[in-house]
């Protein structure tokens, strides 16, 4: 009897240690997220599981072209409540330990950083950053860079984000007032920079950041 008790105790300790290590890793190094919408197609598909690098937002630089996961900066998403108390409790525990991503996170691509002027003349025109047209090879095939004319300046310590599937993405454009102040995402809200798709097997891939697309864009004045 004592042997069985020790065995169970050892198992509980092992599970607790693994859980703690996983929580530490996902708090400071990497974190998994599930893609909930089509806003980043074809780069990311609905249901893809991606892993993000949490070190860059803390100690590195978020750059134009980066795919980032960020906390909802203000009513960009509406969480769906669970109708089952048990499942709801399990989901909360998973979110706290980062085994599951909360519904309050989004994924988009950074197209402008603090001080940048981001603009577009509407259908048939390319996106411009600081007056330079940007070729965007990551856009979903057949999708226009923008549907409506806009011109904004990104506030300091914020970024302007847009989905790769521009016609189906409620991004910075959708939430802005025409100045760049409301639609821009604070750097402090960025959870991590996209590293790779790790599931499903058929979609496993990496290298989704596209800093080279903005190589000719000058620094903001």
For the chain, the domains span: 31-214
pLDDT tops 50 at residue 165: yes
Task: Report the CATH fold assignment for 31-214.
Answer: Umud Fragment, subunit A (2.10.109)
Question: What is the enclosing helix (H) or strand (E) of 82?
Answer: none
- 218: its two tokens: 């000058």
- 69: its two tokens: 């996961």
Looking at the DSSP bridge assignments, the partners of residue 206 are 196
Judging by beta carbons within 10 Å of its beta carbon (0-12, 13-18, 19+), is residue 85 exposed, middle or buried?
exposed
Calculate mean pLDDT across residues 66-94: 61
**From residue 188, how far is each of 71, 77, 91, 114, 213 by CA, in Å?**
9, 18, 25, 13, 25
pLDDT of residue 79: 46
Calculate mean pLDDT across residues 109-129: 97
pLDDT of residue 221: 82
Q: Which positions are annotated as active-site residues?
A: 39, 108
Q: What are phi and psi of 77, to 5 degrees?
A: -130, 155
Calculate mean pLDDT across residues 121-147: 96
């Amino acid at each position: 009897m004592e042997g069985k008790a020790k065995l169970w105790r050892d198992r509980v300790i092992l599970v607790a240690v693994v859980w703690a290590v996983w929580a530490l890793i996902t708090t400071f190094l990497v974190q998994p997220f599930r893609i909930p919408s089509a806003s980043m197609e074809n780069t990311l598909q609905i249901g893809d599981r991606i892993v993000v690098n949490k070190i860059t937002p803390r100690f590195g630089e978020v750059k134009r072209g980066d795919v980032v996961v960020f906390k909802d900066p203000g009513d960009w998403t509406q969480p769906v409540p669970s109708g089952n108390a048990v499942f709801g409790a399990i989901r909360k525990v998973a979110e706290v330990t980062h085994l599951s991503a909360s519904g309050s996170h989004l994924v988009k691509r950074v197209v402008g950083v603090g001080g940048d002027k981001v603009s577009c003349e509407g259908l048939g025109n390319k996106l411009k950053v600081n007056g330079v047209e940007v070729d965007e090879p990551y856009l979903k095939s057949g999708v226009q860079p923008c549907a409506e004319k806009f011109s904004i300046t990104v506030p300091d310590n914020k970024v302007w984000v847009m989905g790769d599937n521009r016609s189906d993405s409620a991004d910075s454009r959708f939430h802005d007032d025409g100045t760049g102040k409301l639609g821009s995402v604070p750097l402090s809200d960025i959870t991590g920079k996209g590293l790779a798709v790790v599931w499903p097997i058929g979609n496993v891939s990496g290298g989704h950041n596209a800093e080279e697309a903005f190589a000719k864009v000058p620094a903001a004045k």
